[in-house]
Chain A
Amino acid sequence: MKQGPIFKKDTLKRLLKMLFEFYPLALPLVLFCILFTAAVSSIPSVFMQKVIAVLEQNQGGNWAQVGPQIFRLVAVLAGLYVLSLASSLAYTQAMAVITQGSLKKMRQRLFHKMQGLPIRYFDSHPHGDIMSHYTNDIDTLRQLISQSMPQLLSAAVTVLTLLSIMLYFSLWMTLVVLSGMALMLVVVKKLGGSSAKYFMRQQVSLGKTEGYIQEMMNGQKVVKVFCHEDEAKAGFDAINDQLFRDAEQANTFANILPPVVVNIGNLIYVTVAMAGGIFLLTKVNNLSISGLAFSISVIVPFLNITRQFSGNINQVSQQVNAVIMGLAGANRIFTVLDEAAEEDQGFITLVNVREEDGLLTECQERTGLWAWKQPLEDGTVRYTRLAGDVRLQEVDFGYEKDKPVLHNITLFAEPGQKVAFVGATGAGKTTITNLLNRFYDIADGKIRYDGININKIRKSDLRRAVGIVLQDTNLFSGTVMDNIRYGRLAASDEECIAAARLTGAHDFITRLPEGYQTVLTGNGGNLSQGQRQLIAIARAAVADPPVMILDEATSSIDTRTEAIVQRGMDALMKGRTVFVIAHRLSTVQNSDVIMVLEQGRIIERGSHQRLIEEKGKYYQLYTGAFELE
């Protein structure tokens, strides 16, 4: 857990503002209903006082006289009850809708925001943490919105109404109640504060336990192989016991709070009864709005009010934890919403064109011919044919400002050329490819695509023009066909199958239980890593981009299968500019040019033949005299 305050000061304000934004009409209405219901629920004591007063006055009277008076009072009360019931029914139903609606909108905002965040965000935040915004944080908000907020509001109103009713009856007795309440508030604040502190501590422990469990569950097979079960158990026990202690403490405070509040309430109740009795006996002059003198018809309803009063404080105290956790959750969500989105100042777009007499004209349908559309200052538009010419000029880059990863990288790839990157882990191979589609922006230098600075190209269009297949294959829940079609949503089944054939995936797909309609779950958990890579390559083939980056794309395919796939890969690469990163030199040696990288610099470049003749680093790598680490 991060240090510093659990939530910012303006979190509540911002949350409320957001909720009002979601439901600008319904929410105020609901709030009104809550206020109304709360106010009405405190009024009966007034009627009770009146009824008791009537009874006291008519002691020994007969029902025929008293009855109508009582009936009139009760009828008004019943009328109020009906109104309160209606408003309560309305607001509880509306609240169900509003809560879930707000949560959905919150999730949606979060998700939309997330889609617009730069890759840097995902690289620098553990995925478990990002995920917990959707699970834990939203859950704490549900509690806050649907229960804590209405209850707090209603309690606040009730307390205020009760206070005025008390003053209506008697100032002296009100003071007795208030002094008791002051004591109650001090206790609530103290206990509630400790409770919240321990809840936060419990949260940290819980996180640690989850981390340990996650690591051990993932490595369970290794544990078995090394007969390391007892050590795993011992490690778990230590963390689990810590969690137990923290949870015990947190819950102890949370559990003690209600009986303490209730019994302080009882104390007040008793004190009020005694004080009332004493006032009555000593005939103290009552001071009140109503001007009523001390009598049993003042004391009895007052006792009920006292009970209601402390009942409300009890309710508030039970919400303390929920409110703090909810605001902490809201704060974390807002932090994500405040993240800077991916910047895009590109204005050059990619459009379909038709070529007539060497002249490019824009058109809507898919022609297979693409062009960069560049609006010029004079209002005209220039079309540049999409070819796949990529040039890097003196590019410098670092993930962090003061830690440069790439130095002075200059290279060019002409349309149709195959460029390979070779080098140790951390030499900067993947980093270069991260720059080509602007997952990260360069610090210095220029990258040009078909002669256009890529900063001027709209990101979505740039990425459409650069395909990428990564070592860690990510597939999505859905059929194999859906997954291939992910490359181009408009592709027909035939086009998808053709792509699978081209890349050599067709064979094994047809052997799956339901062929192309086989549903993949859990990132294609039932496929081997090699099979997943084949699907990912087919997916990129459907997208049909002029420039392709293959980052260890065939690393998990065994060499024999790779040899079979090779033909497909060659077919795929034909006519495209391709950047290849591969551990196996066999995968890269037929490249037009091979770049050997070391610590962010290109130290050798040339064809396989030339590099072998140079007898440099590449030669050493190739002959195995140097290790690729």
Chain B
Amino acid sequence: MWKILLKSLREFKRPSILAPAYVSMEVVIECIIPFITAYLVNQIRAGCGIGVILRYGLLLLVMAAFSLAFGRMAGIACATAASGFSRNLRKDMFYSIQSFSFGNIDRFSSSSLVTRLTTDVNNVQMAYMMIIRTAIRSPLMLIFAIVMAFIMGGRLAFIFVAVVPFLALGLYLIIRKAFPIFKRVFRRYDALNGSIQENIQGIRVVKSFVREDYEKQKFEKAAEEVRQEFTRAEKILAFNAPMMQFCLYVNMVFILTFGSYVIITTQGLNFNVGQLSSLMVYSFQILMSLMMLSMVFVMITIADESTRRIAEVLQEKSTLTNPANPVTEVKDGSIDFVDVGFRYSDKAELMVLQNINLHINSGETIGILGGTGASKTSLVQLIPRLYDVTEGSVQVGGLDVRAYDIEALRNQVAVVLQNNLLFSGTIKENLRWGNPQASDEELQEACRLAQADDFISRFPLGYDTYIEQGGTNVSGGQKQRLCIARALLKKPKILILDDSTSAVDTQTDARIRQAFREFIPETTKLIIAQRIASVQDADRIVLMDKGRIVAVGTHEELLATSEIYREVYDSQNKAGGKQ
């Protein structure tokens, strides 16, 4: 998993290599310092002069300064490497997501993509920092300290050989036992947070049904489960420190006793008090580095799930690709559906669209009607190749959509989606999504067609009015008209409105259609609507039901021939009049 992620390292390879290199230097110096100190202690003991003390003292000071310098450089390199790595990971994921097709986006939900880009990357950043710093530092420290211990203590150092495997086994057991629990507990934790989120979003429902106590009980159950699992995992991890202490203590007792024995019996020839003192220091270092190492393992195991989730996004291949020799010119706005069948995923049993055959002339206005779940949206999403057909072929301008360069195709086929969104930024900025080069006049022109110019001009700041995230400061109908204007700015050959005027009143709706007829007659227009009034004056109306086209014709023809159409018409007219 890490292999895939590490490809994103790029320009941060250098600090990633430098950091451990500096760390190694730092460790070496840090390990030599007690060695020289021990020597100095022995010199003092042997009654050397002040000159010697000062000389050694100076040497030690210089070493400490070097150690500090290396430590500082290591710290900086490490910070750069880790934050840079996470920056590149976010960037690569974001770029990868930009290449996603609608199918890919559906597979990952947007909320899961957000978690992957934020929490998961943070986890990996932490783990990476640990790895290039501690994971180098600790084993080096360990090896060095053991070597030094042998140099200093000779056979006495064998105590480490006895203790270290024991400790390593203990750490291994702890991690092995705790890891599966951690994995489980994070899933529970996600579930708990998910249910809190539901509660916050649905607080009006909770309060109006007076379900506060019920919600508290539900919460109590989930929170208790999380607590129990977390406690179990942490209790296991908590053995870490006492185990360390135990080993340290055993070492101390052993070294003090046998050290004294060796000093006395060998008359301090092979082993002296200074060495005894440094041996103590090394034993402390050895155990500390083992403990740090165990922490690194814990971090890596915790980040493991995150790396998997990031790799998934990085490796996801768009389900739509440009053809080898893409056509970049869309001839005209004619559309053909030939024996089209479609389902959203290979695993889905039900076909969403079946046996669709339809020819639409360039410049024609087509109304599409049908109940909830009739697959109207699915039908039109095939035209700009937001999804690929499962069977048959969709053609634009006489060519299969799969033969076009995707961007060229989508620039000519503008869709106003059902859940259309505005982004935080001014109205101008939002409109220029349609055409970044559009002049202010062009913006106004498009807004006039979409009947948006009036209300925009009434805003104190006009076209510079700031739209809040999600477009919360404009009404539903205003938002829809802005979205239509944005699509018009593309000057497309085909314009698709997917239920885009549902919040606009009938009069304005009619004026928009009127403007379409007058000002963009050559553009093919597909209008999905709930209200018959919105499509009544279309050249042809396509009536859909359960993924099939059940009738095609003008309003009058359908009234005469289609029972469903009549039913819809009656339901709207009897009850709603012109609404």
Could you tell me the distance in whole angstroms from the C-beta of A455 to the nearest C-beta in chain B?
A: 17
With A96-B235, A486-B211 already in contact, the answer to whether A224 and B102 are too (CB < 8 A) is: yes
In the complex, A95 has a CB within 8 A of chain B: yes
Decide: A236 and B241 in contact? CB cutoff 8 A. Answer: no
How many angstroms between the C-alpha atoms of A262 and B117 in the bound complex? 35
Q: Which residue of A lies closest to B19 (CB)?
A: A255
In the complex, B168 has a CB within 8 A of chain A: no
How many angstroms between the C-alpha atoms of A240 and B510 in the bound complex? 45
**What residues of chain A lie closer than 8 Å to B235, measured between beta carbons?**
93, 96-97
Interface of B, secondary structure class, is helix
Decide: A628 and B477 in contact? CB cutoff 8 A. Answer: yes
Could you tell me the distance in whole angstroms from the C-beta of B494 to the nearest C-beta in chain A?
A: 12
**What residues of chain B lie closer than 8 Å to A254, measured between beta carbons?**
79
In the complex, A244 has a CB within 8 A of chain B: yes
Decide: A243 and B249 in contact? CB cutoff 8 A. Answer: no
Could you tell me the distance in whole angstroms from the C-beta of B127 to the nearest C-beta in chain A?
A: 13
Given contacts A222-B417, A252-B79, 10 further A-B contacts (CB under 8 A): A97-B235, A226-B490, A240-B87, A248-B84, A262-B71, A281-B47, A300-B273, A303-B277, A307-B281, A558-B530
**8 Å CB interface, B1-60 against A:** 26, 30, 33, 37, 40-41, 43-45, 47-50, 53-54, 56-57, 60
Could you tell me the distance in whole angstroms from the C-beta of B153 to the nearest C-beta in chain A?
A: 15
Binds A, one of B325-333, B419-427, B439-447, B518-526: B419-427
Could you tell me the distance in whole angstroms from the C-beta of B242 to the nearest C-beta in chain A?
A: 4
In the complex, B515 has a CB within 8 A of chain A: no
- List 9 A-B residue pairs with CB atoms under 8 Å apart, sorted by A's residue number: A111-B215, A115-B215, A217-B110, A225-B410, A244-B83, A244-B87, A300-B277, A304-B280, A476-B202
Sorted nearest first, the 5 A-B pairs with minimum C-beta distance are: A259-B71, A255-B75, A586-B576, A474-B202, A251-B79
In the complex, B105 has a CB within 8 A of chain A: yes
Could you tell me the distance in whole angstroms from the C-beta of B84 to the nearest C-beta in chain A?
A: 6
Q: Which residue of B lies closest to A627 (CB)?
A: B505
**8 Å CB interface, A47-84 against B:** 47-48, 51-52, 54-56, 58-63, 66-67, 70-71, 73-74, 77-78, 81, 84
In this complex, the member of A101, A229, A439 whose beta carbon has the largest number of chain B beta carbons within 10 angstroms is A229
With A85-B249, A255-B133, A281-B50 already in contact, the answer to whether A226 and B67 are too (CB < 8 A) is: no
In the complex, B478 has a CB within 8 A of chain A: yes
Decide: A89 and B231 in contact? CB cutoff 8 A. Answer: no
With A108-B219, A281-B49, A281-B50 already in contact, the answer to whether A232 and B30 are too (CB < 8 A) is: no
A553-590: CB near B (< 8 Å → 1, else 0) gives 00001111111001000000000000000011110010
B226-255: CB near A (< 8 Å → 1, else 0) gives 110011001101110110011001001100
In the complex, B180 has a CB within 8 A of chain A: no
In this complex, the member of A122, A131, A225 whose beta carbon has the largest number of chain B beta carbons within 10 angstroms is A225
With A219-B423, A220-B110, A460-B210 already in contact, the answer to whether A70 and B223 are too (CB < 8 A) is: no
Binds B, one of A167-175, A266-274, A407-415, A442-450: A266-274
Decide: B579 and A586 in contact? CB cutoff 8 A. Answer: yes
Interface of A, secondary structure class, is helix
**What residues of chain B lie closer than 8 Å to A67, measured between beta carbons?**
261, 264
Binds A, one of B188-196, B334-342, B357-365: B188-196
With A210-B114, A474-B201, A530-B372 already in contact, the answer to whether A243 and B193 are too (CB < 8 A) is: no
With A104-B227, A135-B193 already in contact, the answer to whether A474 and B198 are too (CB < 8 A) is: yes
**What residues of chain B lie closer than 8 Å to A209, measured between beta carbons?**
90, 118
Decide: A222 and B420 in contact? CB cutoff 8 A. Answer: yes
Candidates A99, A218, A236, A304; contact of B94 at CB < 8 Å: A236
In the complex, B98 has a CB within 8 A of chain A: yes
**8 Å CB interface, A453-500 against B:** 460, 463-464, 466-468, 470, 474-477, 486-487, 489
In the complex, A431 has a CB within 8 A of chain B: no
Candidates B54, B60, B253, B407; contact of A74 at CB < 8 Å: B253
**8 Å CB interface, A481-522 against B:** 486-487, 489, 522
Could you tell me the distance in whole angstroms from the C-beta of B331 to the nearest C-beta in chain A?
A: 19
Binds A, one of B142-150, B551-559, B565-573: B565-573
In the complex, B508 has a CB within 8 A of chain A: yes
B400-431: CB near A (< 8 Å → 1, else 0) gives 00000011001100110100110110000000
Decide: B477 and A585 in contact? CB cutoff 8 A. Answer: no
How many angstroms between the C-alpha atoms of A629 and B459 in the bound complex? 14
Could you tell me the distance in whole angstroms from the C-beta of B263 to the nearest C-beta in chain A?
A: 5
Candidates B63, B195, B206, B420; contact of A477 at CB < 8 Å: B195
Decide: B64 and A274 in contact? CB cutoff 8 A. Answer: no
Decide: A104 and B253 in contact? CB cutoff 8 A. Answer: no
In the complex, A233 has a CB within 8 A of chain B: yes
Decide: A304 and B208 in contact? CB cutoff 8 A. Answer: no
In the complex, A211 has a CB within 8 A of chain B: yes
How many angstroms between the C-alpha atoms of A349 and B208 in the bound complex? 16
Could you tell me the distance in whole angstroms from the C-beta of A487 to the nearest C-beta in chain B?
A: 6
Decide: B572 and A467 in contact? CB cutoff 8 A. Answer: no
Candidates B65, B84, B276, B578; contact of A244 at CB < 8 Å: B84
Candidates B47, B211, B260, B476; contact of A70 at CB < 8 Å: B260
In the complex, B265 has a CB within 8 A of chain A: yes
In the complex, A260 has a CB within 8 A of chain B: yes
With A92-B239, A270-B60 already in contact, the answer to whether A251 and B216 are too (CB < 8 A) is: no
Decide: B26 and A259 in contact? CB cutoff 8 A. Answer: yes
How many angstroms between the C-alpha atoms of A273 and B59 in the bound complex? 13
How many angstroms between the C-alpha atoms of A52 and B53 in the bound complex? 22
In the complex, B384 has a CB within 8 A of chain A: yes
**8 Å CB interface, A577-615 against B:** 583-586, 589
Could you tell me the distance in whole angstroms from the C-beta of A470 to the nearest C-beta in chain B?
A: 6
Could you tell me the distance in whole angstroms from the C-beta of B520 to the nearest C-beta in chain A?
A: 18
Could you tell me the distance in whole angstroms from the C-beta of B53 to the nearest C-beta in chain A?
A: 4
**What residues of chain B lie closer than 8 Å to A221, measured between beta carbons?**
102, 105, 386, 417
In the complex, A523 has a CB within 8 A of chain B: yes
In the complex, B95 has a CB within 8 A of chain A: yes
In the complex, A227 has a CB within 8 A of chain B: yes
Could you tell me the distance in whole angstroms from the C-beta of B44 to the nearest C-beta in chain A?
A: 4
Could you tell me the distance in whole angstroms from the C-beta of A223 to the nearest C-beta in chain B?
A: 7
How many angstroms between the C-alpha atoms of A220 and B420 in the bound complex? 11
Candidates A273, A543, A621; contact of B37 at CB < 8 Å: A273
**What residues of chain B lie closer than 8 Å to A625, measured between beta carbons?**
507
Q: Which residue of B lies closest to A99 (CB)?
A: B234
Decide: A219 and B87 in contact? CB cutoff 8 A. Answer: no
How many angstroms between the C-alpha atoms of A563 and B372 in the bound complex? 13
Decide: B371 and A233 in contact? CB cutoff 8 A. Answer: no
Could you tell me the distance in whole angstroms from the C-beta of A60 to the nearest C-beta in chain B?
A: 6
Could you tell me the distance in whole angstroms from the C-beta of A167 to the nearest C-beta in chain B?
A: 21
Decide: B230 and A100 in contact? CB cutoff 8 A. Answer: yes
**What residues of chain B lie closer than 8 Å to A119, measured between beta carbons?**
203-204, 207
In the complex, B301 has a CB within 8 A of chain A: no
Could you tell me the distance in whole angstroms from the C-beta of B522 to the nearest C-beta in chain A?
A: 21
In the complex, B373 has a CB within 8 A of chain A: yes
**What residues of chain A lie closer than 8 Å to B194, measured between beta carbons?**
477
How many angstroms between the C-alpha atoms of A63 and B219 in the bound complex? 68
In the complex, B268 has a CB within 8 A of chain A: yes
In the complex, A256 has a CB within 8 A of chain B: yes
Decide: A277 and B207 in contact? CB cutoff 8 A. Answer: no
With A111-B196, A563-B575 already in contact, the answer to whether A303 and B41 are too (CB < 8 A) is: yes
